[in-house]
Amino acid sequence: MTITVDTAKLPTLLTALRLPTVGRLWPDFCARADKEGWPAARLLAALAELELAEREQRRIQRHLAEARLPPGKTLDTFDFALVPSLGKARIMALAEGDAWLGSGHNLLAFGPPGAGKSHAAAGLGHELVRRGYRVLFTRTTDIVQRLQAARQALNLAQEIARLDRFDLLILDDLSYARKDQAETSVLFELISARYERRSIMITANQPFSGWDAVFPDKAMTVAAIDRLVHHATILEMNVESYRRRAALAAATSISDTVRDIDPVTASETEKET
Ligand code: ADP
Ligand code: MG
């Protein structure tokens, strides 16, 4: 077989092969290889390696976009000192993924509003995506609505199966999904479908008490909890609200500032007004 080599066709060929990095880099690399007399195999290996590295980066970017993680809420910006019960080392170990995601192990984060549950969950999500896992962060009410719509369209099973592509579903604020919204047995079906296969992380204000308000009846609440906790790590975050703490700190620093104002200036200001 004879192959006619037409280098002018190279850009088209590389596009057809979906090799955008090689497509961008080959003119420079080939020029350098010609000039410096690289062996052909070295040129080929260099281009292949760069294509692979960039492909990995593109994949992570795609997975970060589909994860819908709240921006800026990473583990880097999370102050672990404020939540001693969490343990930075434990969270960093969970951020590795590996064993627990492979076996459909769950994470349940409990704590009052403002304790940092959503931030910690999102931070974990970010890390896991960077390590190559697929994650979806969603408010529980949003996913319940989405699944209810699917049920009405008679494709709940397909919709739940579509969520299988995510190694981890983060259901934020379970406590705010209420059965009076409509019937939320869809949530139970999601939990059952993922049981022992795919992981779920839940954040909630109360550990289990009050979950009756989320599922249609007591028996279903018990069954849902049973499946969730069977293989689960519980993260207790019983700390004062970060928002409240920040607001108090701000208020204190304002009163300090007011106290620090030079009394002469302050009284002059008073006269003027
Ligand atoms: P929760 O979900 O428990 O109600 P959030 O995670 O939404 O609380 O936290 C409330 C706000 O406080 C967010 O802006 C979050 O980024 C911030 N926050 C909470 N805990 C921490 C923390 N330990 N370090 C840094 N920021 C925090
Ligand atoms: Mg929250």
The CATH number assigned to the domain holding 187 equals 3.40.50.300
List pLDDT tens digits, range 238-248.
888 888 878 88
pLDDT band at 209 (very low <50, low <70, confident <90, very high): confident
Q: Tell me what pLDDT residue 120 has.
A: 97
Residue 251 lies in a domain: no
Number of Cβ within a 10 Å radius of residue 13: 13
Asked if 86 and 143 sit in the same domain, the reply is yes
Residue 267 lies in a domain: no
Asked if 169 and 58 sit in the same domain, the reply is no
How many domains in the chain?
2
How far apart CA 199 and CA 164 sit, in angstroms, is 10
Asked if 153 and 178 sit in the same domain, the reply is yes
Residue 84 lies in a domain: yes
Nearest CA to ligand 1 atom 9: 116
The HSE-up count of residue 197 (CA atoms within 13 Å, CB side) is 12
pLDDT band at 168 (very low <50, low <70, confident <90, very high): very high
Asked if 80 and 115 sit in the same domain, the reply is yes
Residue with tokens 């070295």: 42
Q: Tell me what pLDDT residue 217 has.
A: 86
Residue 155 lies in a domain: yes
- Is the pLDDT at 267 greater than 50? The verdict is no
Asked if 183 and 211 sit in the same domain, the reply is yes
Q: Which of 35, 66, 97 is the last residue of a domain?
A: 66
- Is the pLDDT at 173 greater than 50? The verdict is yes
List pLDDT tens digits, range 82-96.
999 999 999 999 999
Asked if 204 and 179 sit in the same domain, the reply is yes
The HSE-up count of residue 165 (CA atoms within 13 Å, CB side) is 7
Give the number of the atom of ligand 1 that is nearest the alpha carbon of residue 73: 16
Give the number of the atom of ligand 1 that is nearest the alpha carbon of residue 173: 2
Give the number of the atom of ligand 1 that is nearest the alpha carbon of residue 117: 3
Q: Tell me what pLDDT residue 245 has.
A: 79
Which ligand lies nearest to the CA atom of residue 115 in the structure? 1
Which ligand lies nearest to the CA atom of residue 73 in the structure? 1
Among the residue ranges 22-31, 162-171, 227-236, 251-260, the one predicted with the least confidence is: 251-260
Give the number of the atom of ligand 1 that is nearest the alpha carbon of residue 112: 3
User: To test ligand 1's pocket by mutation, which of 78, 206, 242, 248 has the most ligand atoms within 8 angstroms of CB?
Assistant: 242
pLDDT band at 265 (very low <50, low <70, confident <90, very high): very low
Mean pLDDT on 161-188: 86
Lining ligand 1 with CB less than 6 A are: 73, 78-79, 82-83, 111, 113-119, 203, 242-243
Closest CA to 166 of 144, 194, 135: 135
Residue 270 lies in a domain: no
- Could you tell me how many helices (H) and strands (E) the chain has, helices first? 12, 5
The HSE-up count of residue 26 (CA atoms within 13 Å, CB side) is 18
- Is the pLDDT at 156 greater than 60? The verdict is yes
C-alpha 133 – ligand 2 centre gap (Å): 22
Asked if 35 and 101 sit in the same domain, the reply is no
Give the number of the atom of ligand 1 that is nearest the alpha carbon of residue 82: 23
Q: Tell me what pLDDT residue 259 has.
A: 56
Residue 264 lies in a domain: no
Burial 95-122 (b: 16+ CB within 10 A, else e): bebeebbeebbbbbbbbeebbbbbbbbb
Asked if 128 and 177 sit in the same domain, the reply is yes
How far apart CA 194 and CA 171 sit, in angstroms, is 13
Q: Which domain holds residue 193?
A: 68-243
Asked if 221 and 104 sit in the same domain, the reply is yes
Which ligand lies nearest to the CA atom of residue 113 in the structure? 1
Nearest CA to ligand 1 atom 16: 119
Mean pLDDT of the chain: 89
Residue 14 lies in a domain: yes
Tell me if residue 119 falls in helix, strand or coil.
helix
Q: Tell me what pLDDT residue 122 has.
A: 98
Asked if 193 and 169 sit in the same domain, the reply is yes
Q: Tell me what pLDDT residue 268 has.
A: 41
Pairing, β 135-139 against β 106-110: unpaired
User: To test ligand 1's pocket by mutation, which of 73, 108, 119 has the most ligand atoms within 8 angstroms of CB?
Assistant: 119
Asked if 103 and 20 sit in the same domain, the reply is no
Q: Classify residue 169 by its DSSP letter.
A: E
- Is the pLDDT at 262 greater than 70? The verdict is no
- Is the pLDDT at 271 greater than 50? The verdict is no
Asked if 48 and 176 sit in the same domain, the reply is no
C-alpha 173 – ligand 2 centre gap (Å): 6
pLDDT band at 263 (very low <50, low <70, confident <90, very high): very low
